[in-house]
Amino acid sequence: MSVPLLKIGAVLSTMAMVTNWMSQTLPSLVGLNGTTVSRGGTSERIVSAIYPSPEEGWQIYSSAQDADGKCICTVVAPAQNMCNRDPRSRQLRQLMEKVQNITQSMELLDLRTNRDLQYVRNTESLMKAVDVKLKTASDNPRSLNPKSLQELKDKVTQLLPLLPVLEQYKTDARQISRVREEVRNLSLVLMAIQEEMGAYDYEELRHRVLLLETRLHSCMQKLGCGKLTGVSNPITIRASGSRFGSWMTDTMIPSSDNRVWSMDGYFKGRRVLEYRTLNDFMKGQNFVQHLLPHPWAGTGHVVYNGSLYYNKYQSNIIIKYHFRSRSVLVQRSLSGAGYNNTFPYSWGGSSDIDLMADENGLWAVYTTIPNAGNIVISRLEPQSLEVLQTWDTGFPKRSAGESFMICSTLYVTNSHLAGAKIYFAYYTNSSSYEYTDIPFHNQYSHISMMDYNPRERVLYTWNNGHQVLYNVTLFQVIKTAGD
């Protein structure tokens, strides 16, 4: 009897954000989960992964079936903050605030009491002298002459400041009564929470969640590639520079490099700004400047494994510039490729040659005269820039607004202006294409750069002087060994 093979259909929705704003780097992936349904000896599952807000807790936010009957569910997991939205956690935070307030009140009362007590001690001798005078006057009224009476009045006058001290004592006594009531209420609430929590061991639960998170991250690494099915709303990171430009992070997988690079303009530029983190880029701080030895053309630059790949101005030469050594490692002509606005995207801007990277390496998108202006895709060897393989897509480049590679598939937009959508997809794995209809919101109405980053699984865009991110949704079917 044969064992049924496991087939998993996965929808991979990833979000980057910036938010911490966030933290100092783009937020890390925080969760994956899925629901399995059996059909004729085959198990199928839809898996979704997203970046939730740091303030959100674990939650299932959707559950449905697609046209084939596959179950779709999405689990949102918090980033190292599992119990933030637990009502008992909120109660405990409120209790902590109350305890802090009570502590501050007690400290203030203690300070005032010590001050007033010292004042009372200082007037003790005066009070004793007044007491002696009063007893003498009481025992022998004749001894109370005008001078003695005046001395007694003076001493009583010196004791008058004790009256507000006594009034303060009365006020503090009332406050102490209120504090005693607060402490009693706190005790009751703590007892109720203890009874409600019962046998819950939050440390054990936290440990289990961390283990699950580790397994989910490992699963995420296996869910590498898929077909683009959706683009999120735009996330504006910053408004800087001119109408045209490009910005990026390193696209190499794996990499712990969190630097951000910005290249303003498309014509004869040489100045590259390098920011330490995304947070620094957002604030426009902590950056260094690279002055390239040769000017660039267009906005189709890419950073891959610590080097900048760009098109040299007024040529079809590709240059590999190494940031650490600040030197050109290699340059090579892309044979037959048009340049200097011969075959640009619809927005112009010397965008003849567009360099990009995805999960499977480094690519060049361009066109040639023999290809009649249709988009050509070439896979490049990153060290030598040698062309490894080339595909003719048949799609006219001047009709494209922008393009980007995901999982060896070229996706092309039909415009750079408002109303643009992802209109065409060419699959290099099968040398086939299809027309698509994937809308996205072109918020600032003029995109001059759009590139996919496989590390973060987001689209980087330069939109009319705004640096914008889009999250993507990918669909894939993963087959187990032996399938």
Indicate the domain borders of the chain. Answer: 1-18+94-125+154-199, 225-475
Higher-pLDDT residue of 253 and 35 is 253
Q: Residues 425, 411: contact at Cβ < 8 Å?
A: yes
Lowest-confidence pick of 53-62, 354-363, 386-395, 404-413: 53-62
| φ, ψ (nearest 5 deg) of residue 136 | -65, -45
Average pLDDT over residues 313-320: 97
Lowest-confidence pick of 176-185, 349-358, 459-468: 176-185
Q: Residues 451, 467: contact at Cβ < 8 Å?
A: no
Token couple for 465: 């002087």
> Does position 53 have pLDDT exceeding 70, yes or no?
no
Q: How much is the pLDDT for 467?
A: 97
According to CATH, what is the number of the domain 225-475? 2.120.10
Residue 133: which of 158, 119, 150, 112 has the closest Cα? 150
Residue 74 CA, chain-centre distance (Å), reads: 19
How buried is residue 97: exposed, middle or buried, by Cβ count under 10 Å (0-12/13-18/19+)? exposed
* Rounded Cα distance, 448 and 470, in Å: 15
Work out whether the CA dihedral 291, 292, 296, 298 comes out positive or negative: negative
**pLDDT-derived band of residue 223, with 50, 70 and 90 as boundaries?**
low
**pLDDT-derived band of residue 158, with 50, 70 and 90 as boundaries?**
confident
For residue 434, give Cα distances in angstroms to 402, 409, 422: 17, 11, 11
Residue type (1 letter), 291 = L
Average pLDDT over residues 213-227: 65
Token couple for 478: 């993963």
Q: How much is the pLDDT for 69?
A: 54
* Rounded Cα distance, 483 and 481, in Å: 6
Q: How much is the pLDDT for 366?
A: 98
Token couple for 66: 């697609």
Lowest-confidence pick of 223-237, 266-280, 285-299, 439-453: 223-237
Q: What is the DSSP string of 125-183?
A: HHHHHHHHHHHHHHH-GGG--HHHHHHHHHHHHHHTTHHHHHHHHHHHHHHHHHHHHHH
Residue 292: which of 271, 318, 266 has the closest Cα? 271
**pLDDT-derived band of residue 477, with 50, 70 and 90 as boundaries?**
low
Token couple for 137: 């006057």
Residue 125 CA, chain-centre distance (Å), reads: 69
> Does position 324 have pLDDT exceeding 60, yes or no?
yes
**Helix, strand, coil abundance in the chain, percent, nearest 5:** 30, 40, 35
> Does position 338 have pLDDT exceeding 90, yes or no?
yes
> Does position 148 have pLDDT exceeding 80, yes or no?
no
Residue 447: which of 470, 474, 425, 427 has the closest Cα? 470
Q: Residues 22, 193: contact at Cβ < 8 Å?
A: no
Lowest-confidence pick of 75-89, 109-123, 236-250, 334-348: 75-89
* Rounded Cα distance, 312 and 104, in Å: 66
Q: How many helices (H) and strands (E) does the chain have?
A: 6, 26
